[in-house]
Chains A and B, each alone.
Chain A
Amino acid sequence: MNSSDHPRAQLSAYLDGALGEPERVAVEGHLGSCADCRLRLGELRATASLIRSLPDPVPSRRLVPRVAAPPAWLAPLRTLTTLASGVSVFLFLATALLANVGGLASSAGTAAAPAASAAPAAPAVGGTGNAPAPTQRSAFGPVGATSPTALSAADAAKQATAAASANAEFATSSGAPADAVAARSDTARQARALRETPAWQSPWLWLALAIVTAVIALGLQRRLRKVN
């Protein structure tokens, strides 16, 4: 049988319902009597169905471009966060610098501290009638509260210094225990100083803020640029 006798070229269109009425009727009539064309039609149908059932490839990125105009507040927000980031960097540097200077000052302060800590003892010293030989107890013990005194602050300071130096002599002569006590109170004071630093003086706070605002500003900038 010659292939021109078969409406093979029409089979796909027949399958897709894309033939005009007379052609469709002719093909249908032929199919009724031709097993070969029926087989080929079946193969085409199966082919189409296989193509339809191919798994979908998935894109690795987002393909829809951003074309929507950004909200009106986006640009000012970008400017604001950029400025905030700059200010935070400045504050970070400033607080870091202060912390270093302050650190030096406070280490100097701890050196001077033992003398100052002797001050509460001074009234006690005065109260006991300027006793020339202060004991360790009178120098460091909780005696200030029980000593009524009319001495002026200056006198108290002077006496405190005297008492401290006297005590220092005493301590050096009496050995280690006094040193240990002094060292303990030093540590406690430093810890207290650290705890009492206000949060806004912490350079790390400003550094974190600078990073966060910079990231936001960059994100907003990218979002703004994509549109144009």
Chain B
Amino acid sequence: MTSSADAELVALIERARTGDGRAFEDLARREERALYRHAARMVGPGPDAEDVVQDAFLSAWKSIRSFEGTSFRAWLFRIVTNRALDRIRSRKRRAELPLEPAVDDDVTWAEPAAPGPDPTEIASGREALLVVEAALELVPEEQRAALLLRDVEGFAYEEIAIMTNAEIGTVKSRIHRARVSVRNTLISRGWRGSGG
């Protein structure tokens, strides 16, 4: 990002903070797609994810004066992540499913893929992506949120810690578990890790 774009962003944030709705809408539009992408991978694509983002925008606008950080984008992601987690929890309560059991510290690794050609290998990149999507859905939501914020949105561990109200050690562990879990699912489906 150029410094003039930075300056423009800072000016927009300042205008939004002082109640300029148009500036806020402009800022929100810049992150709309990314926030929806995040929400969709958290709660599943569709109206639920759209509601999550829309509610998050409204809540952001209502509390815009309390925004004091430097990263407006991280602030929005924080709100969307929290809304998405709330939604998942309320779905679970409604379904009266037991909450995830506390996971112990051991991360279970499947054995690495054996070298050499394998007939069950995931044939195409497209097929691998479908498996990745399915694998992500199996990851517990807090780990998934941390992993997506890291791998897709590119946030630093420290930012993710602030966004998810967690210790940095927790963030580190969540990202690692989630990544290993997706990797295990892929391997179980015949993926050859080194090739991807």
User: A interface vs B, CB < 8 Å?
Assistant: 3, 8-9, 11-13, 16, 18, 36, 39-40, 42-44, 46-61, 63-69
Contacts and interface: CB of A to CB of B under 8 A. Distances in A.
Interface in B32-55: 32-33, 35-37, 40-41, 45-46, 49-50, 53-54
Contacts of B53: 59, 63
Interface in B54-72: 54, 57-58, 61
B132 A50 contact: yes
A47 B25 contact: no
B182 A65 contact: no
A36 B112 contact: yes
B29 interface: yes
B112 A39 contact: yes
A67 B24 contact: yes
Contacts of B128: 50
Contacts of A43: 112-113, 183, 187, 193-194
B132 A54 contact: yes
B61 A46 contact: no
B152 A47 contact: no
B176 A9 contact: yes
A190 B132 CA distance: 78
Given A46-B194, A46-B196, A50-B196, A64 B150 contact: no
Interface string B116-152: 0000000001001100110010000000000110111
Nearest to B16: A67
B146 to A, nearest CB: 10
15 contacts: A9-B173, A13-B157, A43-B183, A44-B180, A46-B193, A46-B194, A47-B179, A48-B151, A50-B132, A50-B186, A53-B125, A54-B132, A55-B129, A57-B45, A64-B29
A31 B7 CA distance: 43
B175 interface: yes
A36 B173 CA distance: 21
B61 A67 contact: yes
A40 B36 CA distance: 31
A66 B25 contact: yes
B172 interface: yes
B156 interface: yes
A59 B107 contact: no
Nearest to B22: A68
B195 interface: yes
Contacts of A67: 21, 24-25, 58, 61
A189 to B, nearest CB: 62
B194 A58 contact: no
B132 A8 contact: no
Nearest to B132: A50
A57 B36 contact: yes
A12 B175 contact: yes
Contact of A51 (B136, B157, B173): B136
B88 interface: no
A47 B172 contact: no
A51 B128 CA distance: 10
A69 B20 CA distance: 8
Contact of A11 (B29, B35, B132, B176): B176
A68 B152 contact: no
A59 B50 contact: yes
B193 A51 contact: no
B182 A51 contact: yes
